[in-house]
Homo-oligomer: A and B are copies of this chain.
Amino acid sequence: MTHEAGIPLGIRFRLLSDSPQDSAAQVVNDVVVGDYRDLDTLRAFARGCDVITFDHEHVPAEHLRALEADGVPVRPGPDALVHAQDKGVMRARLDALGIPCPRHRIVSDPADVAAFAAEGDGFPVVLKTVRGGYDGKGVWVVRSAEEAAEPFKAGVAVLAEEKVDFVRELAANVVRSPHGQAVAYPVVESRQVDGVCDTVIAPAPGLDEELALRAEQMALTIAKELGVIGHLAVELFQTRDGRILVNELAMRPHNSGHWTMDGAVTSQFANHVRAVLDLPLGDPRPRAKWTVMANVLGGDYPDMYSAYLHCMARDPQLKIHMYGKDVKPGRKVGHVNTYGDDLDDVLERARHAAGYLRGTITE
């Protein structure tokens, strides 16, 4: 999708991909297949690139520092990216900046988890490996010290966090350029099912204006203070008592910003490309009153063509974005966007299409 956004500007992409079957490798015409964890591979790849950016945060920071030392701009740079790679580093930095987070600390073993629980409101406690988790992986909700053994088995530091009593999850998406220009997309509501993002509503319905502004300013502050270049998604909890707490950071175009492809004047991908090239950023405002994004998860419906027939015939305004991935149960294989003036209608259309493409709706 970043490649799609670069085409109209005549920006040529070279892609480093795990495999030729990767989504991006199917549509980019200059693909190097290799391991992003190998510095020699990265160096060979980087030769001839004007600038390097990412669609995930897992490239080791020390390799990125080596590329920077070779003179290749890396955006976002490793000093920013580490906050999206390591939840311990992220929490420490946000604390220092006075950004509200769930109560948290690094814990050493199940007994320490019990101590952490006792310091607050008790169990349940959320445990996260500081590195490597996503979409609910690497995250555990434990109700006792006995349940807390598993996270420590990976040999990675474990972060304990209070289980926040939230009314909903929000996301504040911003983009920042090397010049220091930044734009904020409207704050969205993100609805999860089984720990995976199911639906995003832009803007977040009924969100107090002052709270929305605070969330946007929080994301802009994080982008600036951490030196983020490109897109930053700040996942937030809205608590029952009216606070906003930072859940996670992502430094790349993010699922909570996919609605912008059809719902905003400038998509998150276009603005990410512009930021990485230090071009002036595009207008982040919405084009419709409501835009809804619904993720398409892999089901057991391999016949995409007849699903397209149904979905396109039912809703001529539907925007489908499939990623060309092999369909595996539960995997995000695409998303749909709908927009309009009536939120109920827009939500129903998105959910129907996503469900039909997954195969869970078969009307």
Across the interface, which residues of B come within 8 angstroms of A31, CB to CB? 29
Across the interface, which residues of B come within 8 angstroms of A10, CB to CB? 304, 322-324, 334
**A176 at interface, CB cutoff 8 A:** no
**A309 at interface, CB cutoff 8 A:** yes
Q: Please, which residue of chain B has its CB at the minimum distance from the CB of A319?
A: B8
Across the interface, which residues of B come within 8 angstroms of A324, CB to CB? 10, 12
Across the interface, which residues of B come within 8 angstroms of A37, CB to CB? none
**A343 at interface, CB cutoff 8 A:** no
The 0/1 profile, CB within 8 Å of B marked 1, for residues 21-35 of chain A is: 000011111110000
Q: How far is the CA of A265 from the CA of B313 in the complex (A)?
A: 15
Which has the most chain B C-beta neighbours within 10 Å: A30, A274, A280, A312?
Answer: A280
The stretch among A145-153, A197-205, A281-289 that forms the contact with chain B is A281-289
Chain A stretch 23-75: residues in CB contact (< 8 A) with chain B: 25-31
Across the interface, which residues of B come within 8 angstroms of A29, CB to CB? 25-31
Instruction: Select A280's contact among B3, B266, B282, B316, beta carbons within 8 Å.
Output: B316
**A89 at interface, CB cutoff 8 A:** no
Interface band, chain A: 35 or more
Instruction: Select A309's contact among B28, B279, B321, B322, beta carbons within 8 Å.
Output: B279
**A317 at interface, CB cutoff 8 A:** yes
Which has the most chain B C-beta neighbours within 10 Å: A12, A29, A31?
Answer: A29
**A9 at interface, CB cutoff 8 A:** yes
Q: Are the C-beta atoms of B317 and A283 separated by less than 8 Å?
A: yes
Across the interface, which residues of B come within 8 angstroms of A171, CB to CB? none
**A320 at interface, CB cutoff 8 A:** yes
* Partner-B contacts on A (CB < 8 A): 1, 3-4, 7-10, 12, 25-31, 265-266, 274, 277, 279-283, 287, 304-305, 308-309, 312-313, 316-324, 334
